[in-house]
Amino acid sequence: MGSLRFYSSLVVLVFTISNSSSQNKPVSCIIPEPVLTKLLDGSYTITDNIKLCLPENNVENLALSDILSELFYNNTGIRPGIVLNNKEVKSGIYLRLNLNWDSTIGNEGYNLTVDKKSIRIAANKTAGLFYGFQSLLQLLPFKTQENITGTQKKLEVPCLEITDYPRFQWRGLMLDVCRHFFTIEEVKRMIDEMVQYKFNILHLHLSDDQGWRIEIKSLPELTKTGAWRVPRTGLWWDREPPQDGEVAIYGGFYSQDQIIDLVRYASERHVQILPEIDVPGHSRAAIASYNYLSCTKLPYKVNPGSFFQDVAGHPYNSVVLCPGQEATYEFLEKVFNEVAELFPFEYIHVGGDETFKGFWSECDSCKKCMAYNNLKNTDELQSYFIKRVEKILNAKGKNLIGWDEILEGGLAPDATVMSWRGQKGGIEAAKQNHKVIMTPNSYAYLDLYQGDPVIEPPTYGMLRLKTCYQFEPAPDGISPSYILGGQGNLWTESVPAFRHAEYMFWPRSFALAEVFWSPKGKRDWNDFIQRTNIHLSRLDHADINFSRSFLDVIIHPLKDDNGNLIIQLETEVDNLEIFYTFDNTYPDFHSLKYISGEKLSIPKDADKFSAVTYKNNKQAGRTISIPIKDMERRVSRKSR
């Protein structure tokens, strides 16, 4: 999309919405929607000699000014000069730390004021200045050839006043770097993308059955052996186990120097990195490196897929750590010693999910440990294990986070729970006065399908954009003070490349950003979709991949009262028209038009149904075609 058209549509959007706005209606094109936006008359014109004016000359401000200047250049093609020590200039964007604490905006909030003479961002802390600047960038047109070469005469920002601060302190995204490996450069790119939408936690899932991804100097086999698996493509769940003599060549890991660099990069952008070492389940890569860690002591190989048998014929692929032997805790002491040194964040995630406990009831060490510690069952053994890991972390000044399975057998005293199997684990933990991060698979699992499986790359489940937008991290019936916030998780079993990770993150993470930052009462789906369309153009300009699946038709095959197959159609987004065919041709706006609520019966000779969405006579979504026999299968699968 050309810049002028983009910019004028943006200005028109800002003003159109403001003219018709009621008190609660969003009035900006910013994602996440700010708490309060007041549009004023006129605009500020940005010129080539604009300056970024920061407070005193210290290291933090110098790092911030470099980052903001680069962001401004990437967005506009203009590189602003830097002026420190609170000086005033002719044409300036002023970033000022409040001399008196403004309790409305807290640690991360800001006030952004644009008048005809200047742009001003005020905050209590640097994080607020950073987020205020991100909002300002979203009010600007994106970098284009016209403004790089100076042929675009005016870069204007509407005069306005914004007061903004987050609803939740924990606004996370998780990237699983185990199932597929992503380079440090890709992880940094991820940080660049997420901070535009005011996410502040990047959770890195660093160990699993499919790979160990962080250098631990005292345990070199973890990356020599554990970081590598045999290469496989194709469906994750159909992949062959490693064959005898086959070499493990797919994988990678982050050296400690890379981690130190990444942590600094993240922290300069106000992102905390949450490291996860997943134990006692999902530990096959560690066990492949050090066989003594499992109950069986058998040799295991790093898993290239998700097949459901191990070399000993156990029914589950996840060989687990032995919690009954001291050697396991000595190993974990070494791992967490180095992890705690590398990551300054107060939390370390220890997993705790999906542990197959069958090994433990057959293991002499586990049985002895249970008898000695009076543990009634393997749930209590798991709880004993997590409590011991918590002691290891606490001794290093860190707090433990675990998936909601750590509730089984009793929570560790100060554990924070990440609720993923819905929200019930989080609710239970909050009732027990524990802190909670809500990341339910029903609203926040970004590895799920976002459009019809016939047209999307293969994965599982379904999480449409609209469902993400309906996520409520603070459910009724518990004190919201226990809910730190929420997080979107991208497991990467079916995500072999970073471009595809972007496709899965965006725009569903726009929705999550708004859920985590904006006031609940400001959520407005139709307005969000208008802003999403603008932001997808921004991502396009920045060469960031994303999905437009939310514009596709949704096809519901059903049975009528007589057992005949019928079809109903809908869209996630309002005001789309749907056209369809039954004759094996691609539909367009001359085809049959679907009337909302209509039940389509299947013509006798039809063997395929196709449908597509249109807006203003232009194709909006993709054409989706499903053979009639597959529709029958979908219905019978649903009714089972």
Catalytic residue set: 208, 282, 354
Residue 295 CB, shortest distance to Zn ion, in Å, is: 3
What number of CA atoms fall less than 13 Å from residue 307's CA on the CB side?
A: 15
Of 71, 178, 190, 295, the residue at the interface with Zn ion (CB under 5 A) is 295
Q: Verify cis geometry, omega within 30 degrees of 0, for the bond prior to 80.
A: no
363 binds, among Zn ion, ligand ACM, none (CB under 5 to 8 A by kind): Zn ion
Asked if 317 interacts with ligand ACM (CB under 6 A), we say no
Q: In what order do the strands lie in the sheet with 565-571?
A: 553-559, 565-571, 600-601
Pairing of strands 228-229, 600-601: unpaired
Asked if 214 interacts with Zn ion (CB under 5 A), we say no
Asked if 354 interacts with ligand ACM (CB under 6 A), we say yes
Per-position DSSP letters for 472-506, written without gaps between them: -SS-TTS-GGGEEEEEEEE--TT--SHHHHHHHHT
Asked if 420 interacts with ligand ACM (CB under 6 A), we say yes
Nearest to 635 by CA among 575, 564, 529: 564
Residue 59 CB, shortest distance to ligand ACM, in Å, is: 38
Alpha-carbon Rg of the chain, whole angstroms? 27
Q: What kind and span of H or E run contains 228?
A: strand 228-229
Length of the chain: 640
How far is 241 from 256, CA to CA, in rounded Å?
30
101 burial type by CB count under 10 A (0-12 exposed, 13-18 middle, 19+ buried) = exposed
Q: Contacts with ligand ACM: how many residues (CB under 6 A)?
A: 4
**Complex with Zn ion: residue 322 or 483, whichever CB lies closer:** 322
Residue 491 CB, shortest distance to ligand ACM, in Å, is: 6
Interface of this chain with Zn ion, residues 347 to 366, rule: CB under 5 A: 363, 365-366
- Written as six digits, the tokens of 30 are 């910013």
Nearest to 267 by CA among 193, 344, 204, 215: 344
119 binds, among Zn ion, ligand ACM, none (CB under 5 to 8 A by kind): none
**Complex with ligand ACM: residue 61 or 210, whichever CB lies closer:** 210
β-strand partners of 294: 321
Residue 445 CB, shortest distance to ligand ACM, in Å, is: 7
Kindly write out the interface string for residues 210-239 of this chain, putting x where it contacts ligand ACM by CB under 6 A and - elsewhere. Answer: ------------------------------
266 binds, among Zn ion, ligand ACM, none (CB under 5 to 8 A by kind): none
Asked if 319 interacts with Zn ion (CB under 5 A), we say no
Per-position DSSP letters for 404-453, written without gaps between them: GGGGTT---TT-EEEE-SSSHHHHHHHHTT--EEE--HHHHBTTB-SS-T
Asked if 516 interacts with ligand ACM (CB under 6 A), we say no
Residue 324 CB, shortest distance to Zn ion, in Å, is: 4
**Complex with Zn ion: residue 196 or 378, whichever CB lies closer:** 378
420 binds, among Zn ion, ligand ACM, none (CB under 5 to 8 A by kind): ligand ACM
How far is 213 from 255, CA to CA, in rounded Å?
9
Residue 364 CB, shortest distance to Zn ion, in Å, is: 8
Asked if 375 interacts with Zn ion (CB under 5 A), we say no
Asked if 540 interacts with ligand ACM (CB under 6 A), we say no
Of 156, 221, 353, 428, the residue at the interface with ligand ACM (CB under 6 A) is 353
**Complex with ligand ACM: residue 78 or 319, whichever CB lies closer:** 319
How far is 536 from 507, CA to CA, in rounded Å?
8
Asked if 293 interacts with Zn ion (CB under 5 A), we say no
- Written as six digits, the tokens of 382 are 């798991």
403 binds, among ligand ACM, Zn ion, none (CB under 5 to 8 A by kind): ligand ACM
Asked if 131 interacts with ligand ACM (CB under 6 A), we say no
Other CB atoms within a 10 A radius of the CB of residue 380 amount to 16
Asked if 512 interacts with Zn ion (CB under 5 A), we say no
Contacting residues toward ligand ACM, per CB under 6 A = 353-354, 403, 420
Contacting residues toward Zn ion, per CB under 5 A = 295, 322, 324, 363, 365-366
